[in-house]
């Protein structure tokens, strides 16, 4: 139940509660709001996501300048993506957005400034000639990372646990296996439990891979696992 609520599966959480005869610890509607926000981020519709976050609780972004900047930078990246993929490239929209939304915030934080400079470099080099650090900005995985941060921030603002307990358990298990192998303990070549969370923990991604499943309710995958 904890995982279903935190990761945003309202229908699955409701069904699980009914079958287990327990009371859900969160309102289904509040779960759906998080799902819609994360779906918007995954789709590259960052302006809608920001609008929904502010409707839900404007203090989330007001009190978290790093998250707010990450969303705005992602929105700039989406604008640049549109600018550079159209037959007649016009970077005016990207320059206007960067100047009005990100430039005033960049001087307040060294990392903000470096992130903005790196993002603006996307306007200089063609997509096929980007270095790995720049190419990573256009990778859909960045949307997932930011969406996961938003999900955790919303949960925290609601007084809920930022992450499901099962994720910590999987990471702990992966850590224990790593330490055992380093100590050359007698273990099978692989101890795969068949969990996506386990792969995330071993890859050090902090569970970002689960974000892809948030694009829908994902009931079938969750209930059967």
| Contact assessment for residue 71 and residue 50, using Cβ atoms and an 8 Å cutoff | yes
Query: pLDDT tier at 223 (50, 70, 90 boundaries)?
Result: very low
Categorise residue 16: left if φ over 0, alpha if ψ from -120 to 50, beta otherwise.
alpha
Banded pLDDT at 98 (limits 50, 70, 90)? very high
| pLDDT higher than threshold 80 for residue 19 | no
Confidence of residue 73 (pLDDT cuts 50, 70, 90): very high
**CB–CB of 214/7 below 8 Å?**
yes
Domain ranges within the chain, ordered by starting residue: 27-159
Q: What is the pLDDT of residues 75-96, one digit of tens each?
A: 999 999 988 776 667 899 999 9
The angle formed by the CA atoms of residues 115, 78 and 210, to the nearest 5 degrees, is: 85
- How many angstroms separate the Cα of 174 from the Cα of each of 177, 185, 189, 198, 200? 5, 14, 14, 7, 10
Residue 9 in contact with residue 166, Cβ under 8 Å?
no
List pLDDT tens digits, range 187-207: 777 776 655 444 444 444 444
Exposed, middle or buried by CB within 10 Å (0-12, 13-18, 19+), for 87?
exposed
CA distance 53 to 70: 14
Q: Which band of pLDDT confidence, cut at 50, 70 and 90, is reported for residue 4? A: low
pLDDT of residue 5: 54
For the segment 133-168, what is each residue's pLDDT rounded down to a tens digit?
999 999 999 999 999 999 999 988 888 655 555 556
| pLDDT value at residue 158 | 84
Rounded to the nearest integer, the mean pLDDT of the chain is 78
Spatial neighbors of 15 by CB under 8 A, at least 6 apart, are 219, 223
- Tokens 């920001």 correspond to 50
- Sign of the dihedral defined by the CA atoms of residues 29, 16, 9, 145, in that order: positive
């Amino acid at each position: 139940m904890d995982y279903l609520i935190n990761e945003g599966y309202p229908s699955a959480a409701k069904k699980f509660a009914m079958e287990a005869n327990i009371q859900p610890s969160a309102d289904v509607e509040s779960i759906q709001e998080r799902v819609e926000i994360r779906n918007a981020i995954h789709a590259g519709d960052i302006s809608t996501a920001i609008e929904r976050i502010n409707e839900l609780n404007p203090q989330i972004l007001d009190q978290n300048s790093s998250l707010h900047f990450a969303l705005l930078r992602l929105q700039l990246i989406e604008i640049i993506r549109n600018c550079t993929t159209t037959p007649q490239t016009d970077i005016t929209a990207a320059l206007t957005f960067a100047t009005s939304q990100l430039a005033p915030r960049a001087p307040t934080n060294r990392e903000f400034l470096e992130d903005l400079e790196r993002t603006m470099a996307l306007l200089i080099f063609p997509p096929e000639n980007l270095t790995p650090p720049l190419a990573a900005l256009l990778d859909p995985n960045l949307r997932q990372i930011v969406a996961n941060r938003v999900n955790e921030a919303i949960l925290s603002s609601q007084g809920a646990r930022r992450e499901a307990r099962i994720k910590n358990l999987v990471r702990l298990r992966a850590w224990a296996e790593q330490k055992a192998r380093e100590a050359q303990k007698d273990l099978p070549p692989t101890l795969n439990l068949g969990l996506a969370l386990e792969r995330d923990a071993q890859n050090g991604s902090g569970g970002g891979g689960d974000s892809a499943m948030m694009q829908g309710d994902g009931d079938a995958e969750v209930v059967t696992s």
